[in-house]
Structure 1
Amino acid sequence: MSNTFTFDPGPRVVSGEGVNADLARLLPDGPVLFVTDANLRALGLADAALEGLSKCDVAVFDDVREDPTEQSVLDAVALGRAIGATSVIGFGGGSPMDVAKAVAYLLGTGEEIGEIYGVDVAQGQGLPLVLVPTTAGTGSEATPISILTVGETSKKGIVAPALYATWAVLDASLTIGLPRHVTAATGIDAMVHAIEAFTTRRLKNPISDALAKEALRLLSANIATACDEPDNFAARDAMLRGSYLAGVAFANAPCAGVHALAYPLGGHFHVPHGLSNALMLPHVLSHNMPAAREMYAELALEIDPSLAGLGTQARAQGFVEALRAITTQTGLSPRLADVGVGADSLDLLADEAMKQERLLINNPLPINRNDALRMYEAAL
């Protein structure tokens, strides 16, 4: 790890119970585009936020699905232009926030979406953007990354500092009562962010390391309680904070092989992103062990301090086993077969994983097509 590094702390943060009801004070004057999804609106989760914006001119765009599409972004941009939006709010899980980031950028710059895919291509200035997560997992509120589905199954990323939000609003009351499977999948997703930020081959640095370790400590200590006691505010608050810290960490020290192998599961089989990460996590960790053993041994102490007396190899193996145990404890399905993926699809998945070059270059150990195929077979 080099002593020379650049670190971007990302958005300013407002945190606290009920703070989502007071978003107007974070926005400039003028019309507001509120990006969310129809399910959250139906559940009433956005009611307090929208009520707090009642004196503003607000247009709500709620046609956002899981694995958000490029078309959703274009439709939301059209609505934003129609009202003359001067700011954007992204309210929800990773999907509405990813859409909102791209929309705020395009509304501010007038650029075409096809021109900004890739890393550091988007160089303009977007509209002021406030992101309000309703799950503790994606960390999207902390990152300058928007992942969109283009066409039927292809995923493309817009990755540039211009996509950072102006404000991230962390209100754990919005995550109270989330279903167990959503709590589990998003929580594992956040843990993967922390692990991959700490072990990335590129741009690893002391600040992201510190954030990743604290994130993993918070998440691993609270995920079971959040699953078992969905109304436990302290656990929910810790999970949301851990998710945010992991987001800041991987925004600076990027994700790698777990995400590379997870994305095709979302694109082709619509497996929720957090669950697809959980499915591939132990197999990628095992693959990376020769290169990442000492880093896994260090992370192990954040999850289980009782491993401190063991040697590096035993601690690293204990780390992998502890993560398997957490996945099982939360009730997530540990096999690809449980989500409808059969052996006849593994070649397709391996081919698609090889397209995730943006992620694969960060993995501590190279992953070729045969490696990917072997890991998918192990996950069956």
Structure 2
Amino acid sequence: MNINSTLISGCQALNDIGYLLQDKQRALLVTDKNIGAIPAVRAFIEQARRSAGRLDIVDNVPPEPSQHDVARILASLDIRGIDMVIGIGGGSVLDVAKLLSVLCGEDAPALDALLAGEKPPSRVASMLIPTTAGTGSEATPNAILAIPEKETKVGIISPVMLPDYVVLAPELTLSMPAHIASSTGIDALCHLIECFTATVANPVSDNYALIGLKKLFTSLEIAVADPDNLGARLDMLWASYYGGAAIAHAGTHLVHAMSYPLGGKYHIPHGVANAILLTPCMRFVRPAAVKKFARAYDLLPAADPALSEEDKSHALVDFFAALVKRLQLPASLDELGIGADHLPYLVAAALDVRRLMKNVPAPVGANDVRDIYLALFPARNHN
């Protein structure tokens, strides 16, 4: 899959890109109210108003949007004549922007048809500007929507949704509180390590994953502890982008398959769900991915080159556990009010995410999934 997006990155990268809109008759900017209040975003909106013939704004994209949210946005818009969609925000905003770029196009399928698997033939021009460093949505062909009726999420996937322009501006991530920087950073880590170890991994996705992991290992905790460090923030945006690019060429697997039900039914933020699952899932796949775990371990700033590959693979899993703890993210489902009585639903729902389960590098069945979930409850709840 070719990623042909033009990348613009660096501090104040938003300041002088209005020329990219000068030939557009009508642009649609998609964001949420919190992001729209950031001074740099307000300044960009004014620049866009001066550059495009007309600028419409949708600023009510919710976290974890459903197909109903997208249908509501569409119903509120006259999409005739929109020839560019700009998304500024976290993964939810960018996913909705990608869908709208398709739905505003000529001969666009209906949203229900996209959900049923029909592939879009085209889209209008698009620009994606992430304000969190985790989802990598700006580099993936995926748009994830919650399906409340089924208490899960689905992915609409097409390379057509990859944008024309990606802007990585670290000052836009400064408004993230520490817990958001932590959870979105772990989401990026999951993308990178899962794609690196997936059954569909290949030299292209491996290259993206290794570059992204190196940046993330050296920058995540600095970005959380020193939120004004623009260098670390930019490195995290790049780590997130490389994670998305790895997804575009390979795919995630066990962590994401098992986190989908946690988001779909219990509305646990995606990065938090991934943080809870990271260590037990990686402990499960480790025996089938020793060499790759060892290569990833070697990228750690404090890696010990004298260790054997086997020991490095164990040390990487230990690092993941310690990292989640240092970032003060939840490590059990009990902390989030979910009891072990929910296990049957969780197991069935995770196994139903077949698109990701087929990427797991080790055979995985219902008992394996149950045991991983079971590790997320205190011993007193084990049956």
> What TM-score does the superposition give when structure 2 sets the normalisation length?
0.93
- The aligned runs of 1:149-164 (5 Å cut-off) are 149-152=146-149, 153-164=151-162
- The one-letter amino acid of 2:192's match is A
The partner residue of 1:137 within 134, 139, 142 is: 134
2:260 equivalent in structure 1: 263
Return closer, same or farther for 1:136/1:172 CA change in 2, 3 Å cut-off.
same
Q: 273-282 vs 340-349, which deviates more? A: 340-349
Alignment partner of 1:281 is 2:251? no
| 8 A contact 2:152–2:263 mirrored in 1 | no
Alignment partner of 1:35 is 2:69? no
SS of the equivalent of 1:17 reads coil
Shift of 1:227: 0.8
| 8 A contact 2:65–2:92 mirrored in 1 | yes
| 8 A contact 1:117–1:159 mirrored in 2 | no
- The one-letter amino acid of 1:140's match is S
SS of the equivalent of 1:81 reads coil
Q: CA–CA distance in 2 between the matches of 1:137 and 1:294?
A: 25
Shift of 1:22: 3.7
- The one-letter amino acid of 2:157's match is V
- The one-letter amino acid of 1:194's match is L
The partner residue of 2:220 within 215, 219, 223 is: 223
Return closer, same or farther for 1:332/1:10 CA change in 2, 3 Å cut-off.
farther
Shift of 1:73: 1.9
Alignment partner of 1:199 is 2:193? no
- The one-letter amino acid of 1:34's match is L
- The aligned runs of 1:203-214 (5 Å cut-off) are 204-214=201-211
Shift of 1:65: 1.3
Deviations 1:293-314 (A, max 9, x none): 1111111111245322111110
Q: CA–CA distance in 1 between the matches of 2:221 and 2:162?
A: 31
Q: CA–CA distance in 1 between the matches of 2:38 and 2:252?
A: 32
- The aligned runs of 1:234-313 (5 Å cut-off) are 234-304=231-301, 306-313=303-310
Shift of 1:98: 0.4
| 8 A contact 1:80–1:107 mirrored in 2 | no
Q: CA–CA distance in 2 between the matches of 1:87 and 1:366?
A: 44
1:124 equivalent in structure 2: 121
- The aligned runs of 1:333-372 (5 Å cut-off) are 333-372=330-369
Deviations 1:250-274 (A, max 9, x none): 1111111110001111111111111
Shift of 1:18: 1.5
Q: CA–CA distance in 2 between the matches of 1:37 and 1:110?
A: 25
2:71 equivalent in structure 1: 74
SS of the equivalent of 2:212 reads helix
Return closer, same or farther for 1:250/1:243 CA change in 2, 3 Å cut-off.
same
SS of the equivalent of 1:308 reads coil
Unaligned runs of 5+ in 1: 1-6
| 8 A contact 1:63–1:72 mirrored in 2 | no
1:50 equivalent in structure 2: 45
Shift of 1:181: 0.3
1:4 equivalent in structure 2: none
2:381 equivalent in structure 1: none
Alignment partner of 1:60 is 2:57? yes
> What TM-score does the superposition give when structure 1 sets the normalisation length?
0.93
| 8 A contact 2:219–2:232 mirrored in 1 | yes
Q: CA–CA distance in 2 between the matches of 1:268 and 1:356?
A: 14
Return closer, same or farther for 1:143/1:293 CA change in 2, 3 Å cut-off.
same
Shift of 1:82: 4.3
2:324 equivalent in structure 1: 327
Q: 286-295 vs 250-259, which deviates more? A: 286-295
Unaligned runs of 5+ in 2: 378-383
| 8 A contact 1:148–1:155 mirrored in 2 | yes
Q: CA–CA distance in 1 between the matches of 2:244 and 2:84?
A: 23
| 8 A contact 2:189–2:213 mirrored in 1 | yes
Q: CA–CA distance in 2 between the matches of 1:258 and 1:113?
A: 27
Q: CA–CA distance in 2 between the matches of 1:369 and 1:73?
A: 34
SS of the equivalent of 1:168 reads strand
2:178 equivalent in structure 1: 180
Alignment partner of 1:107 is 2:127? no
The partner residue of 1:189 within 187, 190, 200 is: 187
CA-atom RMSD in angstroms:
1.7
1:9 equivalent in structure 2: 3
Q: CA–CA distance in 1 between the matches of 2:303 and 2:296?
A: 12
SS of the equivalent of 1:53 reads helix
Shift of 1:45: 5.6
Return closer, same or farther for 1:88/1:47 CA change in 2, 3 Å cut-off.
same
- The one-letter amino acid of 2:185's match is G
Alignment partner of 1:93 is 2:87? no
Shift of 1:71: 2.0
| 8 A contact 1:185–1:278 mirrored in 2 | yes
| 8 A contact 2:11–2:169 mirrored in 1 | yes
Q: CA–CA distance in 2 between the matches of 1:270 and 1:132?
A: 25
Deviations 1:238-287 (A, max 9, x none): 11111111111111111111100011111111111111111001111111
Return closer, same or farther for 1:332/1:197 CA change in 2, 3 Å cut-off.
same
